[in-house]
């Protein structure tokens, strides 16, 4: 594996910067994508919760409108008069009111089923028909204006005195008649119980159930007691709730997505609306079996949960209990998790695409920036290599920069100037050395010449002395011969002559010793001369010593001369 320390900065810096850019943008993109996904999911959940909360307020406002409408109608003078008029007319029929009234307003009604309310009154001339002609138009207009399914006026005895829609429950008794166990009978009894208990609020709400007189179409009811201005109980006013209003109110919100749907349910988990907003078919038939229902119904909690429906589809479900106090309903809004995530994935992909563009831009900028660093560094490296190789004429790049690279270039420039200065110093030293060598040679030549002259003089002196000594020796030999001759002639002086000869011999020996000393002194002079040649500075002292030795030789020669003179004297 190649160590990074062995890779040139010009190569590894751009790569490292690009890799760091890739890593940084990649990690940030990954984190951003994850956080974006989580944030988008939270936003989707929050959006569902917000929409659900708005819809719950809308539903609660509609339910509150039911209370308001019921109170307005129950306290109106027209309603109170209608109760009195219909009650009196009912009593005037004496018996079989159900058969008589249903025949007049259902069987003999010329309008088709579903439109029986279009008959203003029957033309039988009865007090009931007169009351119907008087009040029916007002109730019918109110029903149509507010979208109710039907309106009931029920006497305290349980007789359904009047209905707008004229179905099979019209003119029956909810206490002992055919529909006594239907919700119309239940709500009547609950309202009457509150009225007898003198409750300030006698409004009762009956949840949706299949209602037989309406051909088992799901029906809900809301009712309350009606009193005269003096407080006498006139009966019970009941509205049959229009299922279509709930279907329309809870239509799917296409702004959220194709799978976003509202569900209205209760503890039995049966639907009170059609999530598709198309018909009443799913109402009280289909179930929404999600844990969120229990949380809302049993714990009175609102929130968002991830659930699976009975088909195994993963859902994001927002749930909230309906605040209307007269019924325990739960409103839910769920959306397929995949659809929620598809929007999130789209947003995430947009983030990724943007990150890729940013990544490429960062990588390009990083590469260019790295190149802007490595190129001058490479230039400096080449300049330093050239300087190290001896090329001092190379131009140093980057001297004009004000950053660290400029500082490095200036430092390399200092190295270059120092190298040039060193070259100049070396050249100057070499020149000085050459001049010193020349001066040394001239001095040595001069010293050698002086030495030669001096030593030559000494040698000549020694030669002259030697010649003189030779002459003296010859003279001494001649004198000795004469002495020997004289000795033979002068017998009386033999002894004395012998003594003189011994003296001459001693003088000769002393002369030989002096000659040896002269040879030794000459050898010493040669050595001193050699030393003078190797050490110019000691030349003067050596020459002086030679002079001294020459003087010594002169003294020796003088001694020899004296001895010769003595010998001559003795010989005489």
Q: Which of 276-285, 386-395, 501-510 has the highest mean pLDDT?
A: 276-285
Residue 103 burial (CB count, 10 A):
15
Residue pair 33/185 in contact (Cβ under 8 Å)? The answer is: no
CA distances from 351 to 36, 39, 201, 423 (A): 8, 13, 58, 64
Residue 218, φ and ψ in degrees, nearest 5: -55, 135
pTM of the model: 0.60
What number of other Cβ atoms are within 10 A of residue 491's Cβ? 9
Q: Is residue 79 part of a domain?
A: no
pLDDT at 490: 43
> Of the candidates 316, 336, 356, which is a domain's last residue?
336
pLDDT in tens, 310-335: 888 999 999 999 989 899 999 999 99
Q: What is the pLDDT of residue 494?
A: 40
For residue 174, tell me if it sits in a domain: no
The answer to the question of residue 276 being in a domain is yes
Q: Which of 244, 114, 91, 119 is nearest to 168 (CA)?
A: 114
pLDDT at 454 exceeding the cut of 50: yes
Residue 497: pLDDT over 50: no
Q: Is the pLDDT of residue 107 over 60?
A: yes
Q: How many folded domains does the chain comprise?
A: 2
SS3 state at 522:
helix
* Domain presence at residue 146: no
> Is residue 509 domain-resident?
yes
> Cα separations (Å) of 385 from 378, 389, 401?
10, 6, 21
Q: Are residues 559 and 439 part of one domain?
A: yes
Q: Which of 149, 122, 325, 359 is nearest to 246 (CA)?
A: 149
Residue 298 sits in a domain of what CATH number? 3.30.450.20
Among 274, 307, 336, the domain boundary falls at 336
Inside any domain, residue 173:
no
State the first-to-last Cα distance of the chain, in angstroms, to the nearest integer: 116
Last-in-domain residue among 336, 354, 381: 336
Tokens standing for residue 471? 């002459």
Provide the pLDDT for residue 330.
94
Write down the H helix ranges in 282-336. 291-299
Contact 556, 461 (CB under 8 A): no
Q: Is residue 107 part of a domain?
A: no
Banded pLDDT at 4 (limits 50, 70, 90): low
- Answer yes or no: is pLDDT of 545 > 90: no
More confident residue, 422 or 472: 422
Cα 544 to Cα 527: distance, rounded to the nearest angstrom: 14
Confidence of residue 498 (pLDDT cuts 50, 70, 90): low
In a domain, 282, yes or no: yes
Boundaries of domain holding 326 = 252-336
List of residues 6+ apart from 534 with CB closer than 8 A: none
Phi, psi of 358 (to 5 degrees): -60, -40
What DSSP state is assigned to residue 27?
Answer: H
pLDDT at residue 96, rounded to an integer: 95
Residues in a beta bridge with 315: 307, 336
Contact (CB, 8 A) for 127 and 92: yes
**More confident position, 300 or 175:** 175
Residues 6+ apart with CB under 8 A from 411: none
% of the chain residues with pLDDT over 90: 39
Q: Other CB atoms closer than 10 Å to residue 474's CB: what's the count?
A: 10
- The pLDDT assigned to 562 comes to 72
In whole numbers, what is the pLDDT of the chain averaged over residues?
Answer: 82
Q: pLDDT at position 240, please?
A: 97
């Amino acid at each position: 594996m190649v160590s990074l320390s062995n890779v040139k900065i010009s190569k590894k810096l751009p790569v490292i910067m690009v890799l760091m850019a890739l890593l940084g943008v990649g990690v940030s993109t990954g984190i951003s994508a994850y956080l974006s996904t989580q944030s988008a999911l939270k936003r989707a959940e929050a959006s569902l919760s917000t929409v659900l909360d708005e819809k719950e307020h809308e539903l609660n406002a509609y339910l509150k409108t039911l209370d308001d409408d019921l109170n307005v109608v129950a306290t109106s003078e027209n309603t109170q008069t209608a109760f009195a008029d219909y009650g009196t007319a009912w009593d005037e029929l004496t018996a079989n009111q159900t058969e008589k009234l249903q025949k007049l307003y259902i069987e003999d009604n010329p309008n088709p089923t579903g439109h029986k309310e279009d008959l203003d009154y029957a033309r039988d001339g009865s007090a009931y028909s007169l009351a119907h002609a008087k009040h029916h138009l007002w109730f019918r207009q109110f029903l149509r204006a507010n979208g109710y399914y039907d309106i009931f006026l029920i006497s305290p005895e349980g007789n359904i005195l009047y209905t707008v829609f004229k179905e099979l429950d019209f003119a029956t008794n909810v206490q002992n008649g055919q529909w006594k166990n239907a919700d119309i009978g239940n709500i009547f009894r609950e309202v009457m119980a509150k009225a007898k208990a003198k409750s300030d609020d006698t409004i009762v709400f009956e949840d949706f159930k299949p209602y037989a007189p309406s051909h088992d179409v799901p029906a809900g009811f809301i009712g309350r007691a009606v009193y005269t201005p003096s407080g006498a109980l006139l009966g019970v006013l009941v509205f049959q709730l229009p299922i279509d209003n709930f279907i329309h109110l809870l239509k799917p919100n296409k702004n959220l997505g194709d799978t976003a749907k509202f569900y209205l349910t209760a503890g039995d988990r049966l639907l009170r609306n059609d999530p598709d907003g198309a018909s009443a078919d799913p109402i009280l038939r289909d179930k929404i079996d999600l844990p969120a229902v229990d949380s809302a119904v049993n714990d009175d909690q609102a929130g968002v949960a991830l659930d699976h429906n009975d088909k195994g589809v993963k859902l994001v479900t927002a749930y909230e209990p309906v605040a209307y106090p007269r019924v325990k309903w739960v409103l839910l809004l769920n959306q397929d998790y995949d659809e929620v995530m598809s929007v999130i994935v789209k947003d995430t992909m947009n983030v990724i695409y943007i990150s890729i563009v940013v990544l490429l831009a960062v990588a390009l900028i990083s590469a260019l920036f790295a190149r802007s660093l490595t190129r001058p560094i490479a230039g400096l490296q080449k300049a330093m290599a050239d300087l190290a190789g001896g090329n001092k004429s190379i131009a140093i790049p980057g001297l004009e920069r004000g950053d660290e690279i400029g500082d490095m270039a200036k430092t390399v420039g200092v190295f270059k100037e120092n190298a040039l200065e060193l070259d100049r110093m070396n050249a100057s030293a070499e020149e000085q050395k050459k001049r010193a060598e020349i001066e040394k040679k001239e001095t040595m030549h001069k010293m050698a010449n002086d030495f030669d002259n001096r030593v030559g003089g000494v040698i000549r002196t020694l030669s002259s002395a030697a010649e003189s000594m030779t002459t003296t020796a010859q003279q001494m030999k001649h004198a000795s011969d004469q002495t020997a001759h004289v000795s033979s002639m002068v017998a009386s002086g033999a002894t004395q002559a012998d003594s003189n000869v011994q003296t001459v011999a001693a003088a000769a020996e002393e002369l030989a010793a002096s000659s040896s000393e002269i040879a030794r002194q000459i050898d010493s002079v040669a050595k001193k001369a050699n030393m003078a040649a190797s050490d110019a500075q000691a030349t003067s002292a050596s020459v002086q010593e030679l002079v001294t030795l020459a003087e010594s030789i002169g003294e020796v020669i003088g001694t020899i001369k004296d001895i010769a003179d003595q010998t001559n004297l003795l010989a005489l």
